[in-house]
Every structure is written in structure tokens, then in C-alpha cells.
């Protein structure tokens, strides 16, 4: 297959690799030798105005815009000079997901399983920062939509489809020709976008909507319960300025069940949302204002003391706990589920039980076991006895000396030969000389030194053998001391108390977790009754041209041919219908989800007995766990004295082993100093 190639704005040849994806306007390709860059090639040649806009986009490109978006870096032309697309930074779909996949609970569990409210606030701040960069450069997103904002697992935000943005370069402004009804401000509802020049006020309405979706877990600020029972479309509700969560303007609509209210936020954020969705249609907060206020919110986030999975503004009470059944009055107001006549006071019972925990004295940590004095070394073996000394003057030496002398005298008297006389005289002199007092004393000293050396060597060998035995015994004591110390520390009263306290805290958390379990079961009851009514509502909304961006008469005809006529018919199988594809499928799902969100079901229509059955079952479960918790506190109180006795015994064992080890070490040290000089 021949590799496609084009020429960029600097005259360099750009080779394209494999196709990465395809949408209604064009296809995206790899760029050879540039892993962080891709190319978008239009399926149909862009017209003159579109080419001018692409040139303007490329000229406006700078590092800041490239850091927040897939901004065109350079246009791509063929050998004839016709523009076919552009090069832009890669926003990898394996790392980034469209923003609605984060703020919608079902898709968040799939794409962002570890995300909590802290992460949502973090992303909202980054979205604001990205809009601030865009607006500082004089550009607008125009068609503000969660489909145009991508977010990574780290919360990094990138804008895509920037070639549809409203761009201002010099004196030229290139408008954004499209819009999404549920993100379009009231003053533009029903307007043809085409050549319309938007203002920053229009973008800021969409920005506030994105932030609201993130902080309110996918809720649309205009999707509420209408006093007259009506169910307007998103466009109708926005056009009528029916901000359902407003605390300042009462206009016959209130927040839907199971949702946070604006009062769950700090007054600074309340003010920003009120200004964003005010009927005045002006003075909306800038992206920089949002970024600063969200930064302060992020700094104030704390973990709920009752439920570690709840993150909230430390300046306010936890709003998530207020939605749980344990807070009956608040939960009823926010969920629409009728409250029970009388409920078990779970927090009151937990507080009563915890008073018993607090009344117990917190044990002290076991102190270090220190010996009062260094022990004396063990007794060493006695010196071996010296051998019996041998006589230094033997009788034979004297006898032979005398004999040689007599023989010499005899030979001399008989006139013997002088040679014999000399020999006998010499032998006689040698024997007497050898046994002079000095010679005898010298031989005695030498003999004593030899005996002492033998004694020292024998004793040193004995000590070395003894040291090896002491070192072996010391190693055994060290091992036993390590085990005993571990037992003393691990089974100390404080350690056992902490383990018991942790178990009690887990038991308390398990009791509180039943609130969430109850809410889930109550919601299942509501869902069972809500679903058939919702299906009838969705079946009333027939798919028409203009309802979903990019879905015109031809595609609608194909959908109808495959049995898809209404919002109720939008199921996962729609994706495989010819002409739909992943992007159009997501657009259709988003249309259905928005209609579903604007549909409101009143849980008060359900028989209270169904709710009471759930509550009574879970109150029984709470009661069982509370009794077990109270029994565990009583057991802890009984265990503490026995634990103290065991700790004292363990401490005595550690001290005895330390004493024994110190004695071995002192003995080994004495041996290592060497054998003392022997007298």
C-alpha cells in the first residue's frame, strides 16, 4: 500500500501512516516519525472559507494552545497546492476519554473506577484553566460540549475538534457554525449558528454547565421537577431560564430527587452558578474566576469522618451523608422518598457505645527494657598446673667429671701420653664448667620459660574453645530475645488495644455503611417503578433532523429501517447500524441520556409499604451489628487487665534474656582481651 504524503506549511513532506479513526468530516492518521502528532484529512475538500480558517488556525498556533488542545500546527496540501487537512498534537484515546464518561456515574465506573469527588473538582479546575487559556488568546469553543473535552486518568484536559472553534486572528473572525442545544445559552436557543459571531458570555454559559455536570455528578442544571408537572426539553427549559437549582429565583421548578442542591456548595461557588444561569444573561463568571474558586475548593476538601469514600468541603457538612436514609428529613427532601414514621437512631446508639470506648484508659506503650548494671563475666577455667621441674644438675655429670679428673691424674702419674691427658682433662673441665652456679641457674630459667609457654598455649586453646561455646550460646539467646521482644511489643496492651479499637472502628463503619446499602435498595425500588414510565416518556420523543448533531434525514431513514424511531430505541446495537459508527452512536446516547435526565419521576407515587419493608429489614441488620459492637466494647474492658499481666510477664522474660546475653558478651569480651601474663 502506497503511503499518503502531503506538504506542510514549511514545504516539508509529511508521510501519513495507518488510519486511527474516522468521523463524519474526516479521518485521522498517524504521522511517520512523529509519535506525538497526527493528521486530520477531510473526506471532502474544504471550501475556500474553511481553508482560510485552517490557515488562520495554523498561524495562531502557539505552545500554550498546543498544551491544552489538539490545535492545528500546520496545514497539509497536495502537490497542486490544495488543502486537505492539518497536523495536530495526538490526544490518545487509550489515555483520554470524553468528559461525559467521567461525570456520568455508569461510565465513570468503567473508565475512571478510582475517581472520587476530589478528582471531579480537580478536573473542573483544569477545564476552567483550559478555557482561560483559550479566551486569553481571543478564541472561543463556540459549540461547548462534553464531546469536545477529553480528560486523562491524571485529570489532564485537552480540547479536540478545534477546527470548529470560533477563531479570531487579527481583524478576521471565523465563526463556529454548530451548537449543542443542551449547552447553548438561553439567548441563543433557536438561533441559526452559521455565520453568528459568539461572545465570551456564550462560552461561559457552556463552561458553567460543564462544571455543574462535574460537581453534581452529571446533573443538568436545567433538569428539575416542574410544579405544573410538565417535562420540557433541554432547549425549552434553558430558553425559559428554568435553572432548577437556583436559590435566588423561584420559578416553579426545583431540583430533582436523589441530587445535591446548590446549598451543598460554599457561597462563593453558589454565587458563580447563580451568575452563570441568571435570567439577566450577562455578567457570567470568567474562566479565571472559576479556576480560582475551584482551586480554593480543592484546597478545602476533606474526607468525611463517617464515610471515608465521601469527599466534601471542610467548611460545610458532608452533603453526601445528607442524601443517605440515616438523615431522614434531609434525605426525604432530596430524594422524594417518603420518610418512615420512626427510625432507629443509629448515630445516637453509636455515640452511646463509643462513650464506653472513650471511658477506657489508653494503655501506655511498653518502655525499653534497660538493665540496671552491667553484669559480671562468667567465671573462666582455672590455669592448668605447671609440670614438675626436672633436676638441673644430674649425678652422672658430677661423677663423670670426677672420674675424668682422677683418670687424668692417674695417667699423668704413670707418665701417660700427653694427648690422653689433654682429653681427660678437657672432659673433666667441660663437666665441671657445665654445672657452675650460673649455668645451672640459666638452665633452670630456660626450663621454667618452656613450661610457662606450654601452660599459656594450653590455656589459650582452652579459652578459645570456651569462647566458641559462649558465642554459640549468645547467638541462641539473641534469637530467643528477638522472639521475646517481638512477642512483648506485638502482644503489648497498647498493641492489642489498638487492634481491638481498629476492629471496633470497622464495626462502626459497617453499621454506617448500611445507610448506603439502604439507599441502594430504595433506589432499586424506585427504579422498578420508574423504568416503565421512563420508557413511555422516551418513546414519545421521535428522532428528527437537528435533534442530534450530524444525524440528518439520510441517517434517520437508515435508523428507521433498522427499527430505531425514538429515544427508547437507542440501545448498544445501534452502533453497528450502517452509517452510525462510534462517534454518532455516542451522540445518540447523549441525546437519549439528556432526555432521560430531564424526565422526572415522583417516588411519592410508590406505596410507602415497599419502602418500609426495606427499612425494617435493614434496621434489623443495624440492630444486630450494634449489639455485636456493644458486646465487643464490653469484652475489651474485660481483656485489658489480663493483657497487662501477660505484658508484665513478657517484660520479665525479655529482661532475663538481656541479662543472660549481657553476661555472655562480657565474658567473650574478657576472653578477647587475651591470656594474662603468668607469674
For 550-582, how does the pLDDT look when each residue is reduced to its tens digit (9 = 90+)?
Answer: 788 999 999 999 999 999 999 999 989 988 888
Q: Is the pLDDT of residue 416 over 70?
A: no
Nearest to 671, CA basis, from 663, 452, 660, 374 = 663
Of the pLDDT bands very low, low, confident and very high (cuts 50, 70, 90), residue 1 is very low
Measure the CA–CA gap between 97 and 101, rounded to whole angstroms. 6
Measure the CA–CA gap between 152 and 119, rounded to whole angstroms. 11
> What burial class does residue 109 get, using C-beta atoms within 10 Å of its C-beta: 0-12 exposed, 13-18 middle, 19+ buried?
exposed
Give me the pLDDT at residue 401, please: 54
> Which domains occur in the chain, in start order?
1-62+70-90 (3.30.200.20), 91-322 (1.10.510.10), 340-387+453-679 (no CATH)
Of all residues in the chain, what percent are helix, strand and coil, respectively (each to 5)? 55, 10, 35
Q: Which long-range contacts (CB under 8 A, 24 or more apart) does 233-239 make?
A: 233/181, 233/595, 233/598, 234/181, 234/182, 234/594, 234/595, 234/598, 235/181, 235/182, 235/184, 235/189, 235/190, 237/598, 238/181, 238/182, 238/184, 238/185, 238/186, 238/189, 239/186, 239/189, 239/190
> What burial class does residue 128 get, using C-beta atoms within 10 Å of its C-beta: 0-12 exposed, 13-18 middle, 19+ buried?
buried
Q: What does each C-alpha distance from 448 to 377, 387, 441, 677 come to in angstroms?
A: 31, 9, 11, 14
Q: DSSP letter string over 378-433?
A: PPPPPPPPPPPPPPSS-HHHHHHHHHHHHHHHHHHHTT--HHHHHHHHHHHHHHHH
Give me the pLDDT at residue 335, please: 58
Answer for the pair 121, 264: CB distance below 8 angstroms, yes or no.
Answer: no
Nearest to 602, CA basis, from 335, 339, 340, 341 = 335
Q: Span 310-315, mean pLDDT?
A: 93
Classified as helix, coil or strand, 189 is coil
Classified as helix, coil or strand, 307 is coil
Q: Span 495-508, mean pLDDT?
A: 94
Answer for the pair 146, 586: CB distance below 8 angstroms, yes or no.
Answer: no
162 or 389, which is more confident? Answer: 162
Q: pLDDT tens across 218-251, in order?
A: 999 999 888 888 888 888 999 999 999 999 988 8
Q: Span 391-401, mean pLDDT?
A: 52
Q: pLDDT tens across 272-303, in order?
A: 999 999 999 999 999 999 999 999 999 999 99
Q: Span 48-70, mean pLDDT?
A: 94
pTM of the model: 0.69
| Average pLDDT across the chain, whole number | 87
Q: What does each C-alpha distance from 171 to 140, 167, 343, 446, 571 come to in angstroms?
A: 15, 11, 68, 119, 47
Q: How far is CA 259 from the centre of its chain?
A: 27
Of the pLDDT bands very low, low, confident and very high (cuts 50, 70, 90), residue 395 is very low
Q: Quick one: angle between helices 328-335 and 493-539, nearest 10?
A: 30
Which residues are bridge partners to 169 per DSSP?
172
Of the pLDDT bands very low, low, confident and very high (cuts 50, 70, 90), residue 31 is very high
Classified as helix, coil or strand, 42 is strand
Of the pLDDT bands very low, low, confident and very high (cuts 50, 70, 90), residue 20 is confident
% of the chain with per-residue pLDDT over 70? 88
Q: Is the pLDDT of residue 409 over 80?
A: no
Instruction: For the beta carbon of residue 580, count every other beta carbon within 10 angstroms.
Output: 20
Maximal C-alpha separation, the chain:
170
Q: Is the pLDDT of residue 136 over 50?
A: yes
Q: pLDDT tens across 433-468, in order?
A: 666 677 767 777 777 778 777 777 787 788 788 888
Nearest to 597, CA basis, from 262, 213, 145, 124 = 213
Of the pLDDT bands very low, low, confident and very high (cuts 50, 70, 90), residue 390 is low
Answer for the pair 184, 238: CB distance below 8 angstroms, yes or no.
Answer: yes
Amino acid at each position: 500500500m502506497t503511503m499518503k504524503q502531503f506538504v506542510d506549511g514549511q514545504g516539508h513532506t509529511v508521510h501519513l501512516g495507518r488510519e486511527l479513526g474516522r468521523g463524519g468530516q474526516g479521518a485521522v492518521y498517524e504521522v511517520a516519525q512523529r509519535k506525538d502528532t497526527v493528521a486530520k484529512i477531510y473526506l471532502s475538500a474544504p471550501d475556500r472559507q474553511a481553508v482560510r480558517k485552517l490557515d488562520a488556525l495554523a498561524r495562531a498556533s502557539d505552545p500554550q494552545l498546543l498544551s491544552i488542545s489538539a490545535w492545528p500546527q500546520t496545514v497539509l496540501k497536495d502537490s497542486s497546492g490544495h488543502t486537505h487537512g492539518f497536523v495536530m498534537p495526538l490526544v490518545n484515546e487509550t489515555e483520554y476519554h470524553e468528559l461525559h464518561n467521567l461525570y456520568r456515574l455508569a461510565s465513570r465506573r468503567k473508565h475512571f473506577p478510582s475517581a472520587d469527588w476530589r478528582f471531579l473538582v480537580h478536573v473542573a479546575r483544569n477545564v476552567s484553566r483550559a478555557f482561560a487559556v483559550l479566551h486569553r488568546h481571543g478564541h472561543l469553543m463556540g459549540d461547548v460540549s462534553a464531546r469536545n473535552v477529553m480528560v486523562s486518568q491524571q485529570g489532564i484536559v485537552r480540547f479536540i475538534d478545534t477546527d470548529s472553534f470560533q477563531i479570531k486572528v487579527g481583524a478576521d473572525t471565523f465563526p463556529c457554525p454548530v451548537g449543542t442545544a443542551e449547552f447553548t445559552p438561553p439567548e441563543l436557543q433557536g438561533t441559526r449558528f452559521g455565520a453568528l459571531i459568539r461572545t465570551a458570555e456564550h462560552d461561559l454559559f457552556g463552561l458553567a454547565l460543564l462544571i455543574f455536570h462535574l460537581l453534581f455528578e452529571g446533573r443538568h442544571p436545567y433538569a428539575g421537577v416542574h410544579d405544573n408537572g410538565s417535562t420540557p426539553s433541554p432547549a425549552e427549559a434553558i430558553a425559559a431560564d428554568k435553572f432548577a437549582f437556583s436559590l435566588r429565583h423561584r420559578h416553579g421548578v426545583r431540583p430533582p430527587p436523589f441530587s445535591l442542591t446548590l446549598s451543598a456548595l460554599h457561597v462563593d461557588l453558589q454565587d458563580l452558578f447563580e451568575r452563570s444561569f441568571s435570567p439577566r444573561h450577562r455578567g457570567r463568571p470568567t474562566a479565571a474566576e472559576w479556576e480560582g474558586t475551584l482551586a480554593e475548593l480543592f484546597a478545602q476538601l476533606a474526607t468525611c469522618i463517617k464515610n471515608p469514600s465521601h469527599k466534601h468541603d471542610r467548611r460545610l457538612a458532608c452533603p453526601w451523608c445528607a442524601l443517605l436514609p440515616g438523615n431522614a428529613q434531609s434525605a426525604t427532601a432530596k430524594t422524594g422518598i417518603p420518610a418512615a414514621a420512626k427510625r432507629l437512631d443509629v448515630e445516637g446508639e453509636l455515640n452511646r457505645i463509643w462513650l464506653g470506648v472513650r471511658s477506657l484508659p489508653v494503655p501506655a506503650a511498653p518502655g525499653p527494657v534497660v538493665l540496671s548494671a552491667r553484669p559480671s563475666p562468667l567465671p573462666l577455667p582455672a590455669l592448668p598446673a605447671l609440670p614438675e621441674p626436672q633436676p638441673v644438675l644430674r649425678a652422672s655429670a658430677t661423677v663423670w667429671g670426677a672420674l675424668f679428673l682422677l683418670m687424668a691424674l692417674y695417667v699423668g702419674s704413670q707418665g701417660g701420653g700427653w694427648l690422653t691427658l689433654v682429653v681427660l682433662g678437657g672432659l673433666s673441665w667441660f663437666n665441671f664448667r657445665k654445672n657452675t652456679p650460673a649455668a645451672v641457674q640459666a638452665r633452670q630459667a630456660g626450663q621454667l620459660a618452656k613450661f610457662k609457654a606450654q601452660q599459656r598455649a594450653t590455656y589459650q586453646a582452652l579459652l578459645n574453645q570456651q569462647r566458641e561455646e559462649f558465642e554459640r550460646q549468645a547467638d541462641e539467646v539473641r534469637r530467643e530475645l528477638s522472639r521475646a521482644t517481638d512477642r512483648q511489643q506485638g502482644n503489648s496492651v497498647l498493641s492489642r488495644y489498638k487492634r481491638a479499637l481498629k476492629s471496633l472502628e470497622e464495626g462502626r463503619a459497617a453499621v454506617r455503611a448500611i445507610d448506603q446499602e439502604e439507599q441502594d435498595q430504595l433506589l432499586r425500588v424506585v427504579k422498578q417503578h420508574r423504568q416503565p414510565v421512563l420508557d413511555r416518556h422516551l418513546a414519545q420523543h421521535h428522532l428528527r433532523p437537528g435533534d442530534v448533531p450530524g444525524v440528518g434525514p439520510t441517517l434517520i431513514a437508515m435508523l428507521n429501517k433498522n427499527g430505531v424511531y425514538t429515544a427508547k430505541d437507542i440501545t448498544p446495537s445501534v452502533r453497528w447500524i450502517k452509517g452510525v459508527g462510534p462517534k454518532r452512536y455516542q451522540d445518540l446516547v447523549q441525546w437519549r441520556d439528556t432526555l432521560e435526565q430531564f424526565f422526572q419521576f415522583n417516588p411519592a407515587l410508590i406505596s410507602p409499604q415497599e419502602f418500609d419493608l426495606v427499612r425494617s429489614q435493614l434496621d434489623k441488620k443495624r440492630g444486630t451489628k450494634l449489639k455485636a459492637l456493644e458486646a465487643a466494647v464490653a469484652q475489651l474492658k474485660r481483656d485489658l487487665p489480663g493483657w497487662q499481666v501477660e505484658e508484665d510477664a513478657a517484660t520479665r522474660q525479655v529482661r532475663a534474656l538481656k541479662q543472660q546475653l549481657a553476661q555472655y558478651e562480657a565474658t567473650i569480651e574478657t576472653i578477647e582481651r587475651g591470656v594474662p601474663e603468668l607469674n
